[in-house]
Amino acid sequence: MAVATKTSFILASISSLLLFSSMQIWKTWLASSSQNTLLGGVLGAFLFTLTLTAIGNLETLVLGKSYNLGLFPEVILAFFMALAAAATVHRVTGTSCFLLSLLALFYINKYSQKTYAQIVPQQVTVGKKKKN
C-alpha cells in the first residue's frame, strides 16, 4: 500500500531514528558474537535504505515531484550516515554494512529503473530502394 510523500517521510525518519538508537542501545550485544555482528551490518543496511528514503521524500516535498535523487550528495550522505552508525558498533559491522548497502543500492536502482524509466519508442524509417 502506497502512502503520501509526507507520510512516507515521517515514517522513514522515525524508523531510521528508532533503528539507530536501537543499534546504539544493543551495541555490546551486537558486538558479542560473529552472527550478531553480521546482524548489525544488516541493520546498518536497513538504516541506509530508510535514511535514503527519508532524504528523497524530504527533497520531493521541498523541491517538487520532478526532482530526482543523485549520487552526490543524497546517496553519499545516507551511505556515510549508515556506515558511521554501524562502525560505532563494531568494525566488522561497518564492513558488512558497506557491502550490504551497496547491494541494496543496486536493487533500489534496478527497481527504480523498472518502475520510473520512460520507454522511448524508436522510429523506423522505411525508404524506397533505388532502381538502377
pLDDT band at residue 82 using 50, 70 and 90 as cut-offs: very high
Residue 60, domain member (yes or no): yes
In a domain, 125, yes or no: no
Helix 5-25 and helix 34-63, axial crossing angle in degrees, nearest 10? 150
Mean pLDDT of the chain: 92
Residue 66 lies in a domain: yes
Q: How many domains does the chain have?
A: 1
Q: Is residue 120 situated within a structural domain? A: no
* CB-based contact 19:47 (threshold 8 Å): yes
Q: At what angle do helices 34-63 and 91-116 cross, to 10 degrees?
A: 40
What confidence category does residue 2 fall into, taking pLDDT thresholds of 50, 70 and 90? confident
Give CA–CA dist 123/78, Å, rounded. Answer: 40
Assess whether pLDDT exceeds 90 at residue 121: no
In a domain, 75, yes or no: yes
At a CB cut-off of 8 Å and minimum separation 6, what does 58 contact? 9
Is residue 47 domain-resident? yes
Asked whether residue 83 carries a pLDDT value surpassing 90, the answer given is yes
In a domain, 129, yes or no: no
Domain span including residue 45: 5-113
